[in-house]
Amino acid sequence: MIASTPTAVPSGTSLGRLAELSIERTGGTGPLIFEEQRWTAAQLAARARRLAGGLRAAGLAPGDRVAVCMANCPEVGITYQAAWWAGAAVTPVLFLLGETDLRHVLADSAASFVVTTPDFLDKVRAAARGLPALRAVVLAEQAEPAPAPADRAGPPVLLFAELESPAESDLVDVDPSGMAALLYTGGTTGRARGVVLSHDNVSAAAWAVHSMRLGEGLPGLLPLPMSHVYGMTVSVMATYAETPATAVLMRWFEPVRFLELVVEHQVAQTAIVPAMARMILDQDLDGYDLSALRQVVSGSSALPREVADEWARRLPGVELVEGYGCTEASAIVTVMPPGRTRLGSVGRPAPGVELRIEALNATDGDHDGPPGGAGGSPVGEICVRGPGVMLGYWRDPAATAQAVRAGWLHTGDVGHLDRDGFLYLVDRMKDLIIRGGFNIYPRDVEDALREHPDVAEVAVVGRPDRRLGEEIVAFVQLGPGADVSAEALVRFGRERLGPLRYPREVRIVPAIPLTSMLKTDRAALRTMLTPSIPPAPSPAASPAAPLEPSAHGSSPSSPLSPGDSDSVAWHGGPVGPAPRVSS
């Protein structure tokens, strides 16, 4: 089964030219509001053209890469537009990356410049030391030169304000089929790989999202990191607007300030991640007039069912929808049509996108997701074809050939389509647990355990097992004041999931580790695993010792026996606070 949303997608125009045409069409009057300051689109565009001239004078050439590792501020979007105006490409780098990962991106991309803000200058300087291709670090939001490091090592630091002081540069109009962005995937299972996107790729994704908007001219709030594929796409979406609209930018997400800005600017639409949704629901929402807010898009990771249910109960007039994308498809694969939300679905193919489900080889273990129904598809790998599919992996033709076959991008994600072409995500193929020849999807196990009132968060991974291939292990973060035992959670899981899919091992930990994009860090969890079931604890074992075994069961006569199977419960240290979105 192939699902699609047939439409003609604009192409053949560079991102620099798109920005120019947008100002001509709308007059550039739409404002960007940031910390009590306001700029029109025309003012921001003029700053971008001046910055392009400054960068070119400093040595930036067409085709060079400009890395962007910044806190949210207007200069992020200005940098994107300046690089494209100068014929260069951008490499957004999430500011939460550590020095080692940042250095890998700067070195692998051979970036000519890296633009940053004072918060991250020391980290950027350290990561940039000794990189031969890097000409300079550009520092935004600071009027005075930064002090030189004690060892005087590293590239020079140029001030953003000085680079944008010359006259406006002429457009370097490049081939729209050429590279506009070099993005790096998460890298939680190894070194991040570069993904090459063309001008046509990026503009197609931005146009697809814009075409599914609630309406023209509606105010929007931007709380997510702009130095990321999300921010890059948002900066291009605006070039397709027919009517100027207000955009409100947050430096960092903070739930109370988020709600205050929604009220103050009568925000109609915004985008968040599930961790942010939880924080919003933790607030006393009765104190805010949210009547203008119509749609909130949740992305980056799966939205837990209990969060969606609580949102619907407490904010019935605000549509909370999920979308789906991956870096290799310019971050946009599906969108939820306004007013057509289906619980558990991430929407239909974005305009111009085709989806196909490729069958898996193993047997599914009674997956709980909504059935495909008559005309729906079985569970399998999600494959994507369309104008947003990447040019390829950076300098890695073998990996490109493996990922894109006969024009179809093999995403490594597992899901299925219903009869109307709505997509339901099941899991990542690399996270799939194959126990005794049966596919076990971690998300199914996680959703079941989240139903327990004492469970705040849960993550499930597979542990190598000599007899079954893999065994199911659940890491559980308890809510404040909760004292349920790991053994009780094993029993609870069996009651909800049956004898095949329940976790034989539960480990209670202070907090579930997250990646820099607030996704569950399964690689970190796997480092906490042991290759086999540990022995029973001694009577003197301390119950507060990190990951100390507290109970274990006996082996079943058969790996698929309906009776109780091996189970082991682990307790971590004291329950800690849930991870937060911060700087």
Comparing CA positions, the residue from 262, 265, 270 lying closest to residue 320 is 270
221 φ, ψ (degrees, to nearest 5): -115, 135
Order of strands, sheet of 438-440, starting from the edge strand that comes earlier in the sequence: 363-364, 438-440, 433-435
Give the separation between CA 556 and CA 558, rounded to whole angstroms: 5
Name the most confidently modeled range: 104-108, 536-540, 570-574: 104-108
- Contact predicate 529/473, CB 8 Å: yes
Of the pLDDT bands very low, low, confident and very high (cuts 50, 70, 90), residue 549 is very low
Q: What's the confidence (pLDDT) of residue 515?
A: 78
What three-state secondary structure class fits 112?
coil
Task: Give the angle subtended at the CA of 32 by the CAs of 28 and 37, to the nearest 5°.
Answer: 125
- Kindly state the percentage of the chain with pLDDT values over 90: 64
Which stretch of 324-333, 346-355, 359-368, 440-449 has the lowest confidence by average pLDDT? 359-368
What three-state secondary structure class fits 33?
strand
Instruction: Give how far Cα 398 sits from Cα of 187, 192, 401, 410, Å.
Output: 18, 16, 5, 14
Domains belonging to the chain, first-starting first, are 2-426 (3.40.50.12780), 433-571 (3.30.300.30)
Instruction: Give the CB-side neighbour count of residue 164, counting CA atoms within 13 A.
Output: 24
Of the pLDDT bands very low, low, confident and very high (cuts 50, 70, 90), residue 517 is low
Of the pLDDT bands very low, low, confident and very high (cuts 50, 70, 90), residue 469 is confident
Give the separation between CA 45 and CA 40, rounded to whole angstroms: 9
Q: Which residues pair with 465 in a beta bridge?
A: 469
Of the pLDDT bands very low, low, confident and very high (cuts 50, 70, 90), residue 361 is low
- As to burial, measured by CB atoms within 10 angstroms (0-12 exposed, 13-18 middle, 19+ buried), residue 242 is exposed
- Contact predicate 537/543, CB 8 Å: no
Q: What is the DSSP string of 174-185?
A: --TTSEEEEEE-
- Kindly state the percentage of the chain with pLDDT values over 70: 86
Comparing CA positions, the residue from 368, 378, 251, 237 lying closest to residue 297 is 237
Does 273 or 187 have the greater pLDDT score? 273
- As to burial, measured by CB atoms within 10 angstroms (0-12 exposed, 13-18 middle, 19+ buried), residue 526 is middle
Helix (H) or strand (E) holding 203: helix 199-211
Which stretch of 268-282, 359-373, 461-475 has the lowest confidence by average pLDDT? 359-373
Comparing CA positions, the residue from 48, 43, 53, 54 lying closest to residue 162 is 54
Q: What's the confidence (pLDDT) of residue 565?
A: 40
pTM: predicted TM-score of the whole model, two decimal places: 0.80
Which stretch of 146-155, 306-315, 345-354, 482-491 has the lowest confidence by average pLDDT? 146-155
CB atoms within 10 A of CB 285: 13
Question: In which residue are the tokens 């020079």 written?
Answer: 156
Give the separation between CA 504 and CA 525, rounded to whole angstroms: 16
Q: What's the confidence (pLDDT) of residue 438?
A: 80
For 300-346, strand residue ranges (E) read 319-322, 334-335
What amino acid is encoded at 67 in this protein? A
Give the separation between CA 336 and CA 320, rounded to whole angstroms: 10
Give the separation between CA 184 and CA 69, rounded to whole angstroms: 13
